[in-house]
Structure formats: C-alpha cells, structure tokens
Structure 1
Amino acid sequence: MNSAEASIKKLNCSITPRHLTELRRDLWNDEPLPATLVFQDQIKVHAEIAYRGAHTRKAKKKSYFINHAGRKKVKGESEFHLNAEYYDPSFMRNALSFKFLDLIGLIVPHWEYVKFYINGKYEGIYLKLESVNEDFAEKHRLNPCSIIYAIDGDANFSLHSDLDKSLKKNLLQGYELKSGNKSALMRLTEFIVFVNTATHQEFEKRITEYINVRQYLSWLAGVVCLQNFDGFVHNYALLLDEQTNQFIIIPWDYDATFGRDVNGTDMGAEYVRIEGYNTLSARLLAIESFKNIYAGLMNSLLDQTFTTKTITPMIDDLFAQLEPEVQGDPYVGKYVQEFRQEPRFIKDFIQARNDFLSRELSNRGWK
C-alpha cells in the first residue's frame, strides 16, 4: 500500500557464501544468482538476485533486481526492484514523484519501503519498486499489450543518438522489448520514422494513430514539473495496446527529481525548460492544438497540483514514516542531518519551480 501509515516491513535475502562472493566479484554482471527471500518472517520464496542500475552500481549501498524462481507470483508479482536511494538524501524522491504522477492521472508502478537484510545483516531502508511488465499490465487491465523499456539516453524518438549526436545505426537503439510481441518493435520503428519524416500537416493528422497524445502530454507536463532531466530520453516504458495499436508512456525511476540530479547535486529550479526535451515533444508542441492542450494541462498543474499546499502533506507523511528508520541505516551515518533538512529543500524547490514555470507560461502567452 502506498501509504506512510503502513509500517515498514522486513525483507531478508539468504544467499550462499559462494554465490554472495560471485555477486560481489563483478558489479556489472547482470546474470542473476540463486537466493531465498523471506517476507516479514512469513512468506518464503526461492528467487534470483542481481545488481541493477548504471552509476548506482558504484555506490557503497547497492540496488538490486530480484525475480522469483520459475516466475512464481507472490501477491501478483514475479519480479521487483530494490532501490537503495543512495544518492537521494531525502530517501523520498521516487515515492513522492509517483504519488504526484498518480495524482495527475498517470499509471505508475507500485512502491513500498522495506528494511532489507542479506543473510541477516541489515542493509538499510530500500524502496521496493514494481516492475513494468506483464504482471503490471494485468494488474492495471492493460492487456493485451507489449512493453518496451527505454534503457538509455538513445530512447529519444530521434534518428540521431542523444549520446554522441551521430546518426543511429539502428532506430531501436535505447529500447528493449520487455514483454509481448516482437512486432511491437517494428511498430516503434515505424513510429520513430513517422515522427522524424512526416510533414507538419501529416504529423498533426496522423500522430494519434501511434500515441495517445493527451496521455503523453500529461506525462510530459509531470516530468517537466518534477524536473527529471533524464526522464525525457530514459526512465520510461512504452506500452503498445494491441487493440488500438497506440503507445502509452509509463514513468519509471524518478529519484533525480525535486531539484537534485542523479548524483544528488542541487540543480536549481530553472534547469529544465518548460517544453522538456526529445524529438516527439518538440513536434507535438509545434502543433497549435497540441500546444494548447499542453498549456492547459500545465496551467492546471501549477494552479492546483504542483503546489506546496498540495504536496507538503505528502512530504510530511513520507518523512514521518522514514525518519525513525533512516537513523539506523548503516549507510546514512553522518548524513542524517542532511536527510532532516531535505523536506525544506523539496518544498522550496516546488515553490521556485512553480514560479519559474508560471513565468514561462506567461512569457510564451500560454496563460
């Protein structure tokens, strides 16, 4: 349950010394190793564990990907992620982002905090995060669908790489089929070609064949408010509805939000422009009717939802849940004071970001 009233449960992972040594030998090995999970000293599950993430693998506190052996489902899921939140001094940016995105009508992964142990040794507070996979689709009644992950910065809906600006050798660079039919990748290729080659008139007329435009613009407005710089070309999933043949976009991994980047550095409140980034967003906002929809969504968010009045109770709720537990996290130590200062930092960011975006709306005549 996504609620700060819920107590933080224990999750213990038992792994043999040989497999634990193997896990720790190579940070970049994605091959899962056998383990046993015990949830709250009750539910025992055979599973597999591996490190997850990119730059986070170098952190002292590791993040993990866990799947149940034989794809067995426990409480409706066969796999999940354990995020260390090591570079987020608040421990709450992912959770707070998903609460906000859920509030504005987007479909988001389920999350909950857990106290994680490996062979009985306490590893600290983790965010247990639902995978966007077939279980996710079934739970949200999105079947039948195929799911494609945006796995790096090349998932920018462009013919050119976002990483080195060269022409892509393969338009599917940055994307990976998570579940469903391989034909979804063909549809995505066709979509990317259309986005980059259609005339202005053709784009306006036919773009809804490929994507739910209002849902995408809602997502864009949310990412812009939260200032998730990576979120425009990374940290999302595309779900292809096999009945409508339309894509919808699902947010994922939002720890670099509310004024801090992936390393926890202060970004300021004016770092990300109001239009966001990526080729698809630029083309949509070049169409007057779509720009007006986006402006309306943004105005509504800044008036009613992305405000200190609305989000402060969420921040205080999460802090109240986390504060008694974070002090005992073995990787926090001297940073407890920084954790206690973060709610104020986030609230100040929300106000400053709201002010900046409101000025941008006014300057563009979008009010």
Structure 2
Amino acid sequence: MKLQKYEIIINPKLLNQLDSDIWADEHVPAVLKIGTNQYTIGLTYRGDLIRKKKKKSYNIVFQKPYLVNGAHEIHLNAEFSDISLCRNKLSLDFFDRIGVTAPHSKHILLYINGVCKGIYLELESFDQYLLQKRNLPRGPIIYATNNRANFSLLTPKKKLKTKLNEGYTVKYGNKTDLSAVEQLVAMTNTLSNEEFENQITTVLDVNEYMRWLAGVVCTQNFDGFIHNYALYQNGETNTFEITPWDYDGTWGRNIHGKRLRYNYIPITGYNTLTARLLYFPQFKGVYRNILASALEMDFTIETQEGIIEELFQSLKPYVHLDPNIEIGAEDLDKEKEFILDFIQKRSDFLKQEMIKLQ
C-alpha cells in the first residue's frame, strides 16, 4: 500500500517561531497540500514528551475549508519512540475491533517546505465532528490530560486533590460539563457499596467501560488507566463512555520504547473506578465475558499477525526516507516477532489470571 504524501508549506519565519517556543499552543498559518487538493490550515506542535524530541508531532486545524472529510482538526503523530511506528494504530484499531469508539488513523509521508520529515501517523481528533461522522449523539467530550485523572480523591502521589475535576480539560462543551465528571469521581469515592451498585449505571455506561478496560489490559498501556483517555457523555443516555488515545506505549514497550514485562499490568487494572466496579459480581462477570471473547477472537497471533504484516510491509519502502529514525526493513521484521511474542505471552498470562475474575 502506497503512503499518501502530505506537504506543508509555511513561512520559514513562522516555522522558526514554533521552534523558538515548542510549548506554545497558538496555531500559525500554513498551507497543506494532499494530492491535487490544497487547504489553508493552522499549525502547531502537540503532545508532551515528544515536543523535546527531534521529530515532533503536529496539530492541524482546517480553516479554509473549515471541514475536510468531515474533520476540522487532525493530529500528525511522530511515533518517535516506537521502533515499529505502528503501536498506536494497532492499539486504536484493536479497540475499534472489540467495540470501543476510537479514533481512526493512517500512516502518511510528511514534507515541510519540500523537505521530507518522515513517516507520520494521521489521527482523527476525538471531537464533535467525529461524533457526527459516527452518527453518535452530541454530548460533552472531556480529555484526561494528566495523571490526576485517576478517578480518585488523591493524586498518584497520594496528595489530596484540591478539585475533583483535576486532570481534565473540556474538548467539546462548556466548563460546567465538568460537574458531571466531579459527580462520577464523588460517587466512586464516597458512596456505600449498595449505593454505588445501584447508582453507577446512571452516570456510566458500564458495559462500554468494561470493553475499554479489556483493551487497556490486553495492549498493556501503563498510563491508560489514569491518562490517555477521553470521556464522552452520550447526549441520549446521559452516561459517560470512554475512549483511548495516544497508545504508542503498548504491545510490550513503554512510552520510551523500553521493553515492558508481559505481566506488568494486572488483569484487574489499577484505577479507583475499575477497582470499585470489579468488586461486584455482576460487573466482574461482564468484564470476564468481554475479556474472554477478546482473548479468544481478537488478541491472538492468528488475528493480529496478518494485520501487523500488512502494516509493516506498507512502511518498509519509506523508512529510509525518514531522517529522524535509524531503522530498516530488518528492524521491522524483528519488531514484528517481538510484538507477536508479547501477544502470546500476554494472552497466556491473562488466561491464567482469569480465575481472579470468578
């Protein structure tokens, strides 16, 4: 499969402006060319750790036209710390496969002012336009932007939070929509077991949450339980659904590209909301059935090997064009075997741990 070429044309002074303050989130004007189409855009860097790397990620907002293929905003992820360049896409596609709403993605070849910047992963923005494309009811979308979004009254460093909505940023909606998140956190931490069991389904789509939990546990995203997700409040049911994003630290490696033991993340996850839900046999049973199905049908070598092979074959002709990575076709072949080995070991581990969900 041939990678599509994206070319950004930008005034060099404005490009230098971005480099002079890599943490600025203000977009600068540019033009994006895709094939014979040309779009006026706003451009800025995105992400956290990646802004310090030589290969940075970009955020693009379309200005003229305002929508392109139904999207107003897209992300171009560098995937710099992932030697496979594929873990993010593999993860989000896996979530989509098991029934969790997740951004779609594709690899592209990026040029800026005629200079090849390498292979990037184009990601949908999880926003109101994605809801429209998926025919989902409008509703607030709230991003978990740091690790204080752990559904607890305490920060990961065990300090008492000053606000229940710490760690969250409204992507679509109003600041008042954070009150629903505060309610969810309060219920999770203050209700008695009987009250929690009876009331949690009025604010949370528990079945959808358990599908998401199965996805995080299988792909083993260490940050996924307290970060790297968005909450969407379905406008028809008024309940929260949860969706993943930024899943490059998965499939056997962490966010820095280092190997992560296949049994590093327990089958029960580790955030406060998950712990409370799994206390109840009915919710635990839902999770057990969803995870068992994923381990049988989706998180298998038989299912994933062809997907991984197709992805890697599509990238191999272009890796030598990327000036910021030092990998070749042989490295991708080795990484394919590494991921498949992780799938086998992780799957075997989780099947053995299923007894904890009885």
Range class of TM-score, shorter chain: over 0.9
Q: CA deviation at 1:183?
A: 3.4
Secondary structure of residue in 2 paired with 1:276: coil
What's the RMSD between the two structures over aligned residues? 1.4
> Corresponding residue for 2:200?
207
Deviation, structure 1 residue 270: 0.7
Deviation at residue 182 of structure 1 after TM alignment: 3.3
Tell me the distance in 1 between the aligned counterparts of 2:63 and 2:158: 41
Q: How does 1:210-359 map to 2 (within 5 A)?
A: 210-333=203-326, 337-359=330-352
Which of the residues 9, 15, 31 maps onto 2:10?
15
Q: Structure 2 CA distance, aligned partners of 1:201 and 1:89?
A: 47
Q: How many angstroms apart in 1 are the aligned matches of 2:78 and 2:232? A: 27
Deviation at 1:340, TM superposition (A): 3.0
Verify the 8 A CA contact 2:213 2:269 in the aligned structure 1.
yes
Aligned position for 1:154: 148
Letter in 2 for 1:151: T
Rounded to whole Å, the distance in 2 between the matches of 1:353 and 1:305 is 13
Describe the superposition over 1:103-162 as per-residue Cα deviations: whole angstroms up to 9, x where unpaired. Answer: 111111111111101101000000000000111111112222111011111111111112
Whether the 8 Å contact between 1:35 and 1:47 is mirrored in structure 2 is yes
Mapped contact 2:284–2:357 kept (Cα < 8 A): no
Following TM superposition, by how much is the alpha carbon of 1:303 offset from its aligned partner in structure 2, in angstroms? 1.8
User: Are 2:43 and 1:46 equivalent residues in the alignment?
Assistant: no
Cα offset, 1:275, TM superposition: 0.6
SS in 1 for 2:198: helix
Instruction: Write the distance in 1 (CA, Å) between the matches of 2:305 and 2:262.
Output: 17
1:134/1:365 CA distance change after superposition, 3 Å: closer
2:29 corresponds in structure 1 to 34
Q: 1:55 aligns with which of 42, 46, 49?
A: 49
Among 179, 182, 204, which residue is 2:172 paired with?
A: 179
Mapped partners of 1:38, 1:82: distance in 2: 14
How is 1:108-119 mapped onto 2 (pairs within 5 angstroms)?
108-119=102-113
Moved more, 122-131 or 66-75: 66-75
CA distance in 1, matches of 2:253, 2:65: 36
CA contact 1:89–1:335 (8 Å) conserved in 2:
no
Asked if 2 retains the 8 angstrom alpha-carbon contact of 1:89 and 1:264, the reply is: yes
The amino acid across from 1:12 in the alignment is: E
TM-score, L = length of structure 2:
0.97
C-alpha separation in 2, matches of 1:81 and 1:332: 20
Counterpart CA distance in 2 for 1:135 and 1:277 is: 32
Report the Cα distance in structure 1 between the residues aligned to 2:326 and 2:338, rounded to whole angstroms.
20
* Matches of 2:162 and 2:194, distance apart in 1: 28
Letter in 2 for 1:230: D
Q: Percent identity?
A: 43
Following TM superposition, by how much is the alpha carbon of 1:181 offset from its aligned partner in structure 2, in angstroms? 3.5
1:208 and 1:253, CA in 2 relative to 1: closer, same or farther beyond 3 A?
same
Tell me how far 1:243 sits from its aligned partner. 2.6
Letter in 1 for 2:90: L
Q: Distance in 2 between matches of 1:227 and 1:116?
A: 29
Which residue does 1:142 correspond to in 2?
Answer: 136
1:99 counterpart = 2:93: yes
Length-normalised TM-score, structure 1: 0.95
Structure 1 Cα separation of the partners of residues 64 and 167 of structure 2 = 28
1:334 is displaced (CA, Å) by: 5.1
Distance in 2, Cα, partners of 1:96 & 1:274: 20
